[in-house]
Amino acid sequence: MKKILTIAASLMLTLSIHAQLAWDTEFTKSDFDNAQTVISHTENVKWDDPVLGVGGGLKLGKLIVNILGFGQDPYEDECVIALSQTGIAETLTFAWQGASDGSISVYQSSDHNNWSLVYTHEGNTISTDTEAEADLATNTRYLKFAATGKTAVAIRKIKVTELKALSASTDEWPFGSGMVDDADATKNVNIMWTNIVASVTSTDPHFSASLTTVGQKNLIDQTTVLTIRYAHSEAGQHSGEIVISGEGKEVRIAVSGQTNKYDQTLTWIQDLSECIATDHLSFNAFTSSGLDVIYETSDESIAYVAGNELIIACAGDVTITATQPGNYKFNAATSISKTLTIRKADPMIGVSVEDLTYGQPISEALIHETLGQVEGSFSWLNIASDSVLNAGDYALTLLFTPANACLYNTRTLPVALHVNKAVQTIVWENQETELTVGTAILSTAQISSGLPITYAYTECLLRIEDGSIYAENEGEVTVIAYHPGNENYLPTTVIMQTFTIASTEIPSAIQQLSPEQIRRANKWLHAGQTYISFEGRVYDAQGKLLR
C-alpha cells in the first residue's frame, strides 16, 4: 500500500490541467496511455484488448495462484482518472466483470485528496458485464477505480456525462386577442438552466424574445426571465414556437395569438338619381377610417371614374359603387351603390344667318354660331334646300344636329332670314340707229333679269312693241331703256339710244336674203333668238323677212 501511495504522489507532481477525460466520451486506450488523463495507477493496472470474445478495457489486478494454501496474497489495485477541469460532472456509467472473492469500488474527488465512495460491489466472480451507474458530485474532477480479489476486474464503457439542464416554467403561452397597431403584448417565462449556453429563436416573425441567448457555463440551477413579445403588426391568427436550444438540450414554448382589424363604415349621402350629360360630378363618400374611397361604374361606355370625378361619355343608366377594401389595419367597409340616370344635354347654341340675294337657293345661306362650343351641323326644317325665296324677311327654323349625339339632344332654332332684292342691269349695244319711215327693227337692248324692258320715247316719231322698233315719222328721237324694279329686283340704271329717222322711200322688201346678204347684215340676239337687220327690214336667223 505504501508503494501505491508513493507512485500516486509522484504522479501528482506532473499533473497538468490540459489533459482530462472529455465529457460524454468513452474512455479508450489512448486515454489510458495519456499520463495527463490517467494520472496514477498501480503496477497491475493495464489496458487489455478484447480476447476470444471477452471484453477488453481497463483491467485491474491479476490472476492469483494459491495451491494448498501456498501462493501470493490477493491483489489490491487502483487507477486514478482526471476528468475535464471545466464543466460540471453529472453521472458515471461503466460495465465490469471479474473480481472473484473480492470487490470493486469507485471514488470521486474534487481535489484528488478527499475521496468519497460512489459505487461498490462485493461478491463472487462475475463472468458477464455488470452495468453500473453512479451520480457524481457537481465538483468532481477525479475518479478512482479500485479492485481487490483473486481474479482481475475488466472495466469497460467508462463515460462521465456533464451536467446540463434546460427547462421552462411553461411549454405553451396563448396571448389572446388584440387589435392591429396595439402595443406589443408581453409574457414572461422563467427559463431554468444549468451549465449551458442556448440560443433563442422564434419560428414566427410576430413573436420575439427579449434575449438571443440564455445561460452560462459552469453555473448550476440558474433562472433567467425571458420576455416574449407578440407584435400586433398584422391581422390574423398567428402561432409559432420560441425555441431555446443548445448543447443537446432544447425547450419549445408554443405561442399563439389573434390580431384583429378594426371595422370601418362607409358613408355616402350624395343624391345621384339623375344628371345632365354635361354636368361635372364629384363624389363625396367618406369612411370612418379616413381611408380613400374607390368608385367604380357598371358600364364605362356610359361613364367612368377618374379619382373621385365622374367622366360622362354617353347618356344612359349606370350604377356607381363606392367601396373601401380595407388595409392592414381596417376591414373592408360595406359598399354602397347608387343608380344614376344621365340625360342628354340641350346644347347651348345661338345662330345668325347672313342675308341672301334673290336668286340664291336657301342652301347658300351662311349660318354663324353666336353661342356655344358644341360641334354639329345645321339643316333647314320645312323647306327644301334648293328653294329660292322672294326678297323680303322670313321667320324660318334650323335643326341643329350635334356631332356627339351620345351627349347632346338635337335642337330646333328659330332664325330670321332677309332676302335682298337682286341687282339687274341693261345693256344696249350694236343697235341700228339709222331708220327710215315705215321700217321696223328689233331692239338690241338686253336686261340681266329677263324682265320686260320699259322704253320711254317721243311717240310721234317711233313706237316700240314686243321688242321691235317701228319708225313712223321723220326726225331724231332719244329712247330711254330701263326697268323700275319689282318685289325681287332693284331698278336698273337708265340706258339711252338716239335714233335718226329719214323720210326716204322705203325700198322694196326682200323676202329672203342671200347668204352673202346674211353675212353682211347686222345681227343681234334678243330673248335667246338671233335676228338680222338689212335695209331697214328685220329677218330671222335664216334670212326670212319677218315684217
Q: State the CB neighbour count (10 A cutoff) for residue 229.
A: 17
Q: Report how far residue 207's alpha carbon sits from residue 225's, in angstroms, rounded to the nearest whole number.
A: 16
Final residue of a structural domain among 200, 225, 260: 260
How many residues are given for the chain?
547
CATH of the domain at 61: 2.60.120.260
Do 278 and 370 have their domain in common? no
Q: Report how far residue 442's alpha carbon sits from residue 404's, in angstroms, rounded to the nearest whole number.
A: 63
Q: Report how far residue 362's alpha carbon sits from residue 20's, in angstroms, rounded to the nearest whole number.
A: 126
The 3-state DSSP class for residue 222 equals: strand
CATH of the domain at 374: 2.60.40
pLDDT surpasses 50 at 419? yes
pLDDT surpasses 60 at 406? yes
Residue 123: what pLDDT?
Answer: 67
pLDDT surpasses 50 at 14? no
Closest by CA position to 439, among listed 478, 468, 470: 470
Residue 23: what pLDDT?
Answer: 95
| Residue 298 lies inside a defined structural domain of this protein | yes
Do 433 and 472 have their domain in common? yes
Residue 543: what pLDDT?
Answer: 87
The mean pLDDT of 40-50, rounded to a whole number, is: 90
| Residue 24 lies inside a defined structural domain of this protein | yes
Place 52 in a pLDDT band, splitting at 50, 70 and 90.
Answer: very low
Q: Give the containing element (helix H, strand E) for 178.
A: strand 172-179
Residue 513: what pLDDT?
Answer: 86
Final residue of a structural domain among 245, 260, 275: 260
Q: Report how far residue 386's alpha carbon sits from residue 314's, in angstroms, rounded to the nearest whole number.
A: 35
pLDDT surpasses 70 at 1? no
User: Hey, what's the cell of 76?
Assistant: 489490491
Residue 20: what pLDDT?
Answer: 87
Task: For 332-369, write each residue's pLDDT tens digit.
Answer: 999 999 999 999 999 998 899 999 999 999 999 999 98
Place 5 in a pLDDT band, splitting at 50, 70 and 90.
Answer: very low
Do 213 and 228 have their domain in common? yes
CATH of the domain at 194: 2.60.40.10
Tally of domains within the chain:
5
Q: State the CB neighbour count (10 A cutoff) for residue 272.
A: 17
Burial status of residue 95 (CB atoms within 10 A of its CB: 0-12, 13-18, 19 or more) = middle
Task: For 279-328, write each residue's pLDDT tens digit.
Answer: 999 999 999 999 999 999 999 999 999 999 999 999 999 999 999 999 99
Residue 402: what pLDDT?
Answer: 94
Taking a C-beta distance cutoff of 8 angstroms, is the pair 83, 136 a contact?
A: no
Residue 470: what pLDDT?
Answer: 93
Average pLDDT, the chain: 89
| Residue 547 lies inside a defined structural domain of this protein | no
The mean pLDDT of 70-91, rounded to a whole number, is: 87
Do 12 and 145 have their domain in common? yes
| Residue 546 lies inside a defined structural domain of this protein | no
Do 471 and 370 have their domain in common? no
Q: Which of 55-59, 119-123, 160-164, 535-539 has the highest mean pLDDT?
A: 160-164
C-alpha torsion sign, points 131, 137, 141, 144: negative
Taking a C-beta distance cutoff of 8 angstroms, is the pair 398, 415 a contact?
A: yes
Phi, psi values for residue 6, rounded to 5°? -65, -45
Q: Report how far residue 249's alpha carbon sits from residue 6's, in angstroms, rounded to the nearest whole number.
A: 43
Q: Report how far residue 195's alpha carbon sits from residue 219's, in angstroms, rounded to the nearest whole number.
A: 5
Task: For 223-253, write each residue's pLDDT tens digit.
Answer: 999 999 999 999 999 999 999 999 999 999 9
Residue 381: what pLDDT?
Answer: 94
Residue 345: what pLDDT?
Answer: 94
| Residue 499 lies inside a defined structural domain of this protein | yes
Range name among 10-14, 82-86, 392-396 with the lowest pLDDT average? 10-14
Residue 18: what pLDDT?
Answer: 44
| Residue 545 lies inside a defined structural domain of this protein | no
Q: Report how far residue 55's alpha carbon sits from residue 69's, in angstroms, rounded to the nearest whole number.
A: 31
Q: Report how far residue 160's alpha carbon sits from residue 156's, in angstroms, rounded to the nearest whole number.
A: 12
Do 99 and 218 have their domain in common? no
Closest by CA position to 331, among listed 239, 269, 266: 266
Answer whether 0.75 is exceeded by the pTM. Answer: no
Do 480 and 410 have their domain in common? no
Q: Report how far residue 296's alpha carbon sits from residue 39's, in angstroms, rounded to the nearest whole number.
A: 89
| Residue 36 lies inside a defined structural domain of this protein | yes
Taking a C-beta distance cutoff of 8 angstroms, is the pair 44, 75 a contact?
A: yes
Do 330 and 355 have their domain in common? no
Do 298 and 256 have their domain in common? no
Residue 322: what pLDDT?
Answer: 97
Do 146 and 9 have their domain in common? yes
Final residue of a structural domain among 240, 260, 280: 260
Do 40 and 109 have their domain in common? yes
On the CB side of 129, CA atoms within 13 Å amount to 15
The mean pLDDT of 469-475, rounded to a whole number, is: 91
The mean pLDDT of 67-84, rounded to a whole number, is: 77
Residue 382: what pLDDT?
Answer: 93
User: Hey, what's the cell of 222?
Assistant: 440558474
What is the span of the domain harbouring residue 185? 165-260
The mean pLDDT of 416-441, rounded to a whole number, is: 94
Measuring CA to CA, how many Å separate 116 from each of 107, 128, 215?
5, 27, 30
Residue 526: what pLDDT?
Answer: 75
Do 438 and 514 have their domain in common? yes
Residues 6 or more apart from 48 whose CB is under 8 A from it?
Answer: 56, 57, 59, 154
Residue 537: what pLDDT?
Answer: 81
| Residue 233 lies inside a defined structural domain of this protein | yes
